[in-house]
Structure 1
Amino acid sequence: MKTIKTISILLILLVGAFTYYNLHSSGGKEAHKYEQKSKPLIALSTYALYDAAKNIAGDSMECFCVLPYGVEVHDFEPTPKLMAKLHDSDLVVYSGAGLEPWTHTFEDEKNGLDMSGYVKLLDAAHHEDEKEGHRHELQFDPHYWLDVDNMITAVNVLKEKFTKILPANKELYSANAEAYIAKLKEIDVQYRQKMSACKLDTIVVDHNAFSYLAVKYGFHVESVSGLSPDAQPSAKVMNSIIDKVKDKNISTIFFESFASDKVINAIAEDTKVTVDMLQPIANITKKESEEGATYYSLMIQNLQKISEARECR
C-alpha cells in the first residue's frame, strides 16, 4: 500500500510540474511581449528628434530612431516588420516637409505626429533636382532641425505629447525639457559669437542641408546638388561652383556624411582646395554613437569646421 501511495503522490507531483511548465512556456512569449510594452514605445524618424526625445523621456519611455545607423534619410524605406512596429508604437514622430515619403501612411493615424507642422520652414522655392530624367519637387527645405529655435519648438511639442501619454511624469518631462533647451540656447550663443566676424561669407557643400544655419547666422551656401543629396549636377553647375571657389578664395569645401564625396573631390582637385565633412544630423553612424555623439556635440563640430572655412576670428 505504501508503494502504491508513494507512486500516486509522485504521479500527482509530475502532472503538476508538467502543467506548470506548459502554462509558463506557452505564456512566455506573451509575458515577454508585455514586458517590452510596459513602457510607451516612441518612434522618431531622424536622429535630431530622437536625441531630443530620449533626453526628455529619460527611462520612462522606450524611444528609438527609425533610421538604422549610417542610412541616408532621403533614401530610407522601412521594412514591413518595422512598419508593423511603428503602427504598434504609442507615438510616431516624423520630421515631415517631404523628407520621408514613407510617412504618408501616418498622416491620418492617431499615433502620428508631423513635427514640420509646428516649426518655421524655409521656402525651397519649389526647388527641383534632376537625375536621369526624374524631377523631385519640394515646397520647403526639410532640414529645419539645424535651426535651434525649431529644435526648441520640437522639444516643447514632445514634452506636451509625452505628458499626455504619462501625465504622472509631467514634472520630469518639464525639467528634462528645460535642461535640453538650455543646451540648445548655448549652441546659439556659440554660433553667434564665432560667426560674428568672418573673412568669407560663403561655404560650398555637395548637398544643401545647411540653409537654416546660413539664414540664421548670416552666410551663404553654394551647393552642388541642391536639396537632394543624390542628384547629379550638370557640367554648367560644376563650372559655376568651381568659378565661385576660385573667385572667393575658398580654401575648404564640404561633403555631407552618408553622401558620396566623388563630386566634391573632383571640384577640390580642380581648385586645389581641401575637403571636409559636415554632419546634417538627420542620422549618425554606429561609430559616432559609440563615441557618444549628440545633437549638441555635432552642432558644435559643424560650427568649428564652418568657422574655420569662413576664416572667422
Structure 2
Amino acid sequence: MDGTRRRFLEGGVGALAAASAGCLDSLGGGAPSVGGDENGGGAATASFFTLADFSRNVAGEALSVENAVPMGQHGHGWEPQSDITVEIVDREAFVHLGIEGFQRWADEVVREIEQNHDDVTLIPAAEGVDLTEYGQRDEGGHDSHDSESEEEHGHAEEHDHDHGEGNYDPHFWVDPVRSQQAVETIRDGLVGADGENADTYEENAAAYLTQLDDLHGRFEEELTGREHDTVVVAGHDSYGYLAERYGFDIHTPQGVSPDTEASPTEIAQTVDLVEREGIEVILYDHFEGDTLARTIVEEADTAMDVAALSPAESITREWTEEGLDYVGQMEEINLPSLRAALGAET
C-alpha cells in the first residue's frame, strides 16, 4: 500500500495517457463487467464509471453492468462518436446521473427511452440526493471567488449549466454519505427492473452501504487533529461536497471550470495564501496534471510539495490492476493527500 500511495502522491499522468490512447466507441470501456449476461442473467448500462461501480456492487453476479464511458475519460467530458442508444435500450436498465446537462448524450438517451422503450428501467442516481448550489458553501467547501476573479474567468455561469441543471454542483459522489443515497436509489431501481433477484440486490446493497459508512468513518477520524482548515486545489474544483462533509475550505485559483486558466493575479493570491497559512502540500486533479500546482510551489518562498486527488469519476488501466475502484480511490488517493494537505498526518 505504501508503494501505491507514493506513486499517486508523486503524481504522474503516464497511466492516464496510456489508458486514454485507445478510447472505445462501444460500451464497457471503463472496466470489466461482472455477473449477469455471461451467466444467463440480464444486463444494465451506467452512464459513467462511478455509477457503474455503485451498480456493480449492488448487482453482484445477478446482473451485468457496463460502463458507457471509455477508460480514462471523465463522465462529463466524454461524448460518444456514434449513437449508443441502440446498445443501451437492448438492456434492462440505464443508470444515469439524473441531473440535466451533466451528460447531454445521456439526456438524449433518457428521452428516447421515455418515449419509445418502456421496457427499459431508468434509474436516476442523484434522485433524493441533497445537492448544493455553487457558491453557497459557507462552512467548509468551495472557497468562492471575489467579483474580480469571477470577472476574469467570465465562464462560471456557463460552466454551471454545462455541469447540470441550474447552479447545482453535481459531484456529490465524492461525499461517501451522499453516495449512500445514490446506492439506495440504484438498489431500488434494480429491484424494480429485476424482481426475481430482489433479495440479492438488497443484500449486496446493505454490504456496500456498510463499506461506504466505514469509508466515511475513516475520513472523519483521519482528518481530525489537523493543523489548518484550508486546502489549495490547483485545478478544477470537483471536491466541494468532500470539503463540506469534513469541514475544511477549498481555495482554487482556477475556479469551478476546467476550461479556464488561472490568471497571474490569482496565482499570486494563492501563493500569498499558502505562505500565510503555512500550507505545505498543494493538491491537483490527477486527470488534469500538476503543472499549475508546481507553478505555485515554485513561486512560493516556503518548502512545499504536490499531491494528487481523484474526482472518483473515472478509472485508468493501472488503477484497475491495483483494485482502485471508487472506494479504493477515496481511501488510497484522496484520504492520504488530504491528510498531507491539512497537516493531519497520522
Q: CA deviation at 1:298?
A: 1.3
**Greater CA drift, 197-206 or 267-276:** 267-276
Q: What TM-score do the two structures reach when normalised by structure 2?
A: 0.74
Relative to structure 1, the CA distance from residue 41 to residue 275 in structure 2 (aligned partners, 3 Å threshold; closer, same or farther) is same
Superposed displacement of residue 137, structure 1: 2.8
Aligned length: 279
CA distance in 1 between counterparts of 2:212 and 2:155 reads: 40
**After alignment, is 175-184 or 222-231 more displaced?**
222-231
Q: Which of 84, 87, 90 is the matching residue for 1:88? A: 90
Structure with larger Rg: 1
User: Does the Cα contact within 8 Å between 1:41 and 1:61 map onto a contact in 2?
Assistant: yes
In structure 1, the residue matched to 2:324 is 293
> Which whole-Å CA distance do the structure 1 matches of 2:316 and 2:206 have between them?
28
Letter in 1 for 2:281: T
1:303 aligned partner: 335
Cα distance between partner residues in 2 of 1:307 and 1:266: 22
Partner Cα distance (1:267, 1:246) in 2: 11
Distance change (3 Å), C-alpha of 1:293 and 1:152: same
Deviation at 1:117, TM superposition (A): 2.7
Partner Cα distance (1:82, 1:257) in 2: 28
**Which one of the candidate residues 170, 185, 200 is aligned to 2:213?**
185
Q: Which residue of 2 is the match for residue 234 of structure 1?
A: 263
Deviation, structure 1 residue 36: 6.9
Q: CA deviation at 1:103?
A: 2.0
Identify the match of residue 105 of structure 1 among 96, 105, 108.
Answer: 108
Is 2:64 the partner of 1:62?
yes
Map Cα deviations across residues 114-166 of structure 1 (whole Å, 9 max, x no partner).
32232111111499794799942341111101111221111111111111121
Aligned residue runs from structure 1 range 231-310, under 5 A: 231-271=260-300, 272-301=303-332, 302-310=334-342
Identical amino acids, percent of aligned pairs: 25
Higher strand share: 1
Tell me the distance in 2 between the aligned counterparts of 1:131 and 1:70: 29
Corresponding residue of 2:9: none
Deviation string, structure 1 residues 170-202 (Cα, Å, up to 9, x no partner): 111111001001101101111111122111111
Can you list the C-alpha shifts for 1:245-294, whole angstroms capped at 9, x where unaligned?
Answer: 11111111111121132222211221252111101100011110111112
Query: Equivalent residues in 2 for 1:124-203 (5 A)?
Result: 124-125=134-135, 130=153, 135-138=158-161, 139-203=167-231
If each structure's helix is expressed as a fraction of its own residues, which one has the higher value?
A: 1
- TM-score normalised by structure 1 residue count: 0.81
- RMSD (Å), alpha carbons: 2.5
Amino acid at match of 1:105: E
Residues 216-231 of structure 1 aligned to structure 2 (within 5 Å) = 216-231=245-260
Amino acid at match of 1:95: L
Amino acid at match of 1:195: L
Secondary structure of 2:95's counterpart equals strand
Unaligned runs of 5+ in 1: 1-34
Q: Distance in 2 between matches of 1:256 and 1:66?
A: 22
Higher relative contact order (CA 8 A, sep 6+): 2
> 1:99 Cα shift?
2.6
Structure 1 residues 40-49 or 245-254, which shifts more? Answer: 40-49
